[in-house]
Structure formats: structure tokens, C-alpha cells
Amino acid sequence: MTAPIIRRKDDLQALTRAWRRAGDVIGVVPTMGALHQGHLSLVRAAKAGADRVIVTIFVNPKQFNDPKDLENYPRTEEDDARKLAPFAVDAIYVPDPDQIYPDGFVTTVSLGGVASVLEGAARPGHFDGVATVVTKLFTQTMADRAWFGEKDYQQLQVVTRLSADLDLGTEVVGCPTIREEDGLALSSRNLLLSDRARIKAPALNAAMERARGRIEAGEEVAQVLDEASLEVERAGFNAVEYLVLRAAGTLAPMDRLTGPARLLAAAQLAGVRLIDTIAVTPPD
Ligand code: PAF
């Protein structure tokens, strides 16, 4: 059965207030639509971890630092609702823009620390936009729990920090990245890849996996990362913006594998910006 599509926050809150009164645990899966198996894995986890599940679909203009990127972002509401039907979620919240940013809206939620590096540095204002909309979505849905993918590992850390810092009362749960068989991390942006670019795209994850193996085997981190970036560019990517090793959680720079870590990368392929991350584990 297709869940009701709700566009006004008052209508949503009429539901969530009743669920709260009934003692239900409310879960939310925030998305920008163009749903794929990665999103659906979050919905599956939410169904197992909450009594009521709301999926939000809102292409948030404030988190796009490039107007072309916002314009090109896929919008597939009908298809999304169809994909959600088998999960029997309790509501699909597709807020009208004025429900998130009413006339005169001037508030920005801005984090330092984990939000200021990597994506934060490469895309000025991006995490301000994410933090602002996520604060609104958490408060509008009154969610007890929210599910986010590890594919956007830095976003997961930002949102976890945000919820704790502002006492939003929403527990943030991270879920593993879902990949195509050839290793490409699922992303709504993959829809923008041409056929030729799609063939080249898995080279990013392949290079990262090789780098992970070498770093875990004790090879020098800086050299391994330089070689991995070159490998990605030789595979046909236009540019590697970053391919780095960072401490898990804090994203502090790491030049030796001294604890649990992540490889994180962003690279341009035929006009599409792809990001990926994998865990790197020090030997016992
Ligand atoms: O990951 C996304 O799709 C977006 O950044 C989010 C969390 C829905 C906020 O707009």
C-alpha cells in the first residue's frame, strides 16, 4: 500500500503527536529522493528499529553550492513513492519549500570541527545547508531515531554531532554503504553518469580497496595515497579532489595507521562528482 504523501508540517505533526501519545517510537529516513537500494536499506533498518517510519523527500537548495548541480539533481517523486510501497512506511513527507524555508527565514545551523574539513572545505556552505535542513526535519518529524548511510560518512558524523550538541533528542544510526556488483557505491548522482563514465566509475572504489590493503599491510600512507590518486586519474577520472586517510569519527588527519580509520575520496568523472569511503582497520 502506498503511504500518504504529506506536504504541510501541520498535517505531519497531527500524525506524529498522535503517535507520541500512543508511545510509539518514531523513526525518520531523510532523503532528497531519487531513491535507490541504499535508501531502501535505510528504510528497512528503520522499519526494524521504530514503530512508525517517515521517509522525507526534499531537494534542499541550501546544501548545493553549485546551482547547476541543484538544477540537474534528479527529481522522481512518483517513482520514489512506488519504490517505498512494499515497505508500508507510515508517511512520506515531501514538504512544500515554504514548510522548510518560510518567507523571512534567516537561520543557519553551522558546525565547526568535523564539518570544516574535506566536503566542508571543498563545498563551502554545504554542511550549513545539511545541518539547517536536518535540524528542521528532526524537529518537524519529532523523530526519536534517524537513519543515514555511511556512504556520506562525513555527513553522518556531522549529523550525529549536531543532534548531540543541540539536544535534538534524535538518535542518529549509521548503516553500511550499498554497492553495485562492480563496487560503485550507490548514489542518486550515478543516474547522471553517461554509459562511458559508468564503465570507468568503479575504478575509484577499486583503487581505494587496493590502498586499504597496502595501508593495513603497513606500507607508507602518503605514498600509497599518491599512487591511488594517480591510478584513479589514469582510469579516466578528470581529477581527484582528495583521497585521504582520516581517523574514524573525528576525521583528524592520520599519517600512520594508529587506530580505526577511514579512506575518504572525492573525484570528478565527466562532470559528475563522486564520493566514496571505506573503513581501514589496524592489525591487532
Ligand atoms: O543525504 C542526503 O540525501 C541529504 O544530505 C539529507 C541528509 C537528506 C539532507 O538534505
pLDDT in tens, 210-233: 999 999 999 999 999 999 999 999
pLDDT band at residue 284 under the 50/70/90 scheme? confident
Own/partner long-range contacts of 108-114 (Cβ < 8 Å, ≥24 apart): 108/132, 109/135, 109/162, 109/166, 111/158, 111/161, 111/162, 111/165, 113/161, 113/250, 114/154, 114/157, 114/158, 114/161, 114/250, 114/251
Element (H, E) at 121: helix 119-122
Rounded Cα distance, 79 and 2, in Å: 11
Strands (E), the chain: 5-6, 26-31, 52-57, 91-93, 145-149, 171-175, 239-247, 261-269, 272-280
Residues 157-164, mean pLDDT to the nearest whole number: 98
Is pLDDT of 184 > 80?
yes
User: What pLDDT, on the 0 to 100 scale, is given for residue 2?
Assistant: 77
Average model confidence (pLDDT) across the chain:
97
Rounded Cα distance, 138 and 172, in Å: 10
- Closest-CA residue, ligand 1 atom 8, reads 31
pTM over 0.95? The answer is yes
C-beta neighbour count of 37 within 10 angstroms: 13
| Homologous superfamily in CATH for domain 5-175 | HUPs (3.40.50.620)
User: What pLDDT, on the 0 to 100 scale, is given for residue 65?
Assistant: 87
pLDDT band at residue 142 under the 50/70/90 scheme? very high
Find the catalytic residue in 3, 27, 29, 39: 39
DSSP structure class, residue 192: G
CATH no., domain 188-280: 3.30.1300.10
Residues 2-15, mean pLDDT to the nearest whole number: 95
User: What pLDDT, on the 0 to 100 scale, is given for residue 180?
Assistant: 98
User: What pLDDT, on the 0 to 100 scale, is given for residue 1?
Assistant: 66
Q: Which atom of ligand 1 is nearest to the CA of 134?
A: 9
- Closest-CA residue, ligand 1 atom 2, reads 31
Could you tell me the distance, in angstroms and rounded to a whole number, from the CA of residue 152 to the centre of ligand 1? 9
Q: CATH 3.40.50.620: which residues of the chain?
A: 5-175
Is pLDDT of 258 > 90?
yes
Residues 251-261, mean pLDDT to the nearest whole number: 97
Is the distance from CB of 49 to CB of 173 less than 8 angstroms?
yes
Residues 248-273, mean pLDDT to the nearest whole number: 97
Could you tell me the distance, in angstroms and rounded to a whole number, from the CA of residue 57 to the centre of ligand 1? 9
Is the distance from CB of 251 to CB of 237 less than 8 angstroms?
no
Residues with Cβ within 8 Å of 229's Cβ and at least 6 positions away in sequence, in order, are 207, 240, 243
Q: Could you confirm whether 126 is annotated as catalytic?
A: no
Rg value, the chain, Cα = 19
Strand order in the sheet with 171-175: 5-6, 91-93, 52-57, 26-31, 145-149, 171-175
Rounded Cα distance, 3 and 91, in Å: 5
Rounded Cα distance, 256 and 224, in Å: 11
User: What pLDDT, on the 0 to 100 scale, is given for residue 201?
Assistant: 98
pLDDT band at residue 164 under the 50/70/90 scheme? very high
Q: Which residues line ligand 1 (CB under 6 A)?
A: 30-32, 60, 63, 130, 133-134, 152, 155
Q: Which atom of ligand 1 is nearest to the CA of 31?
A: 8
Could you tell me the distance, in angstroms and rounded to a whole number, from the CA of residue 87 to the centre of ligand 1? 20
Element (H, E) at 191: none
User: What pLDDT, on the 0 to 100 scale, is given for residue 85?
Assistant: 97
Q: First CA to last CA across the chain, in angstroms?
A: 49
Q: CATH 3.30.1300.10: which residues of the chain?
A: 188-280
C-alpha cell at 260: 580505526
